[in-house]
Amino acid sequence: MGGQLAFFDGGPAPPAPAEDLRPPAPEAVTPGQQSLWPGLADDRPGRLTDLARRAGDCRACSLREGCRGVVFGEGDPSARLVLVGEGPGRLEDEEGRPFVGPAGQLLDRILAAAGFLRREVYITNVVMCRPPANRVPQPDEVAACLPWLRDKLAVIRPRIVLCLGALAAQTLLEPGLSITRARGRWHEREGVLFMATFHPAAVLRDPGKKRPVWEDFSQIRSRYLAVAGD
């Protein structure tokens, strides 16, 4: 396991998990549960571009006044896997892109180690504007930005959503959820699979979280391969 975790420190990435390590297939979903994104024409790039344009003018909370601009998200508009973090930091605010600072560089290495290209997933955050001093977003700020996040998911229509950190898990899964207890477990919401894991920034602060994060991403990769042909 130690060699597999070398990528956390910038070492070579291990190979993606073998397909024979896939977990059991998801439980059967009724036809009604598969209608999470009903009635949408398959113009996801155009719809997402339009949504990003409108989000750029958002002034629903005070965060917009203290940052350079909205960090909407980036990646494949048709991605099967969406990763949701907390909010932009200083570098993200400067570049207008999510996860480009130290935590983002670690996330890139984790994705590569798990066999993903960054361009084939979609990466975003619960809030699109940087909170002052990178503090945790306040409930009213989360509430103001949540419709935008829901709209992004509705356009992309992912099969899997990975919550990076407690705030994302509490926003998308259950208020007050403990990330330590919830991580690594599958949750199903209207035909979409959700999992939570530690935020890459938490791994940078506490190297002891390397192993559980790698285990979680191994599960994500296996389930991703299982749904790839659906």
In tens, the pLDDT along 107-128 reads: 999 999 999 999 999 999 999 9
The confidence score (pLDDT) of residue 10 equals: 58
Q: To the nearest whole percent, how much of the chain has pLDDT over 70?
A: 81
Please report the domains of the chain, with CATH numbers, ordered by start residue. Answer: 44-227 (3.40.470.10)
The confidence score (pLDDT) of residue 190 equals: 85
Q: How far apart are CA 73 and CA 161, in angstroms?
A: 14
Task: For the chain, give the mean pLDDT.
Answer: 87
The confidence score (pLDDT) of residue 37 equals: 44
The confidence score (pLDDT) of residue 227 equals: 87
pLDDT at 210 over 70: yes
pTM of the entire structure? 0.84
Tokens of 190: 């209207």
The greatest distance separating any two alpha carbons of the chain, rounded to the nearest whole angstrom, comes to: 50
pLDDT at 146 over 70: yes
192-197 and 160-164 as β-strands: parallel, antiparallel, unpaired? parallel
In sequence order, the 6+-apart residues with CB closer than 8 A to the CB of 135 are none
Q: Among 198, 197, 186, which Cα is nearest to 224's? A: 186
- Reported confidence tier of residue 4, pLDDT bands at 50, 70, 90: low
Cα end-to-end span (Å), the chain: 32
The confidence score (pLDDT) of residue 29 equals: 31
In tens, the pLDDT along 57-100 reads: 999 999 999 999 999 999 999 999 999 999 999 999 999 999 99
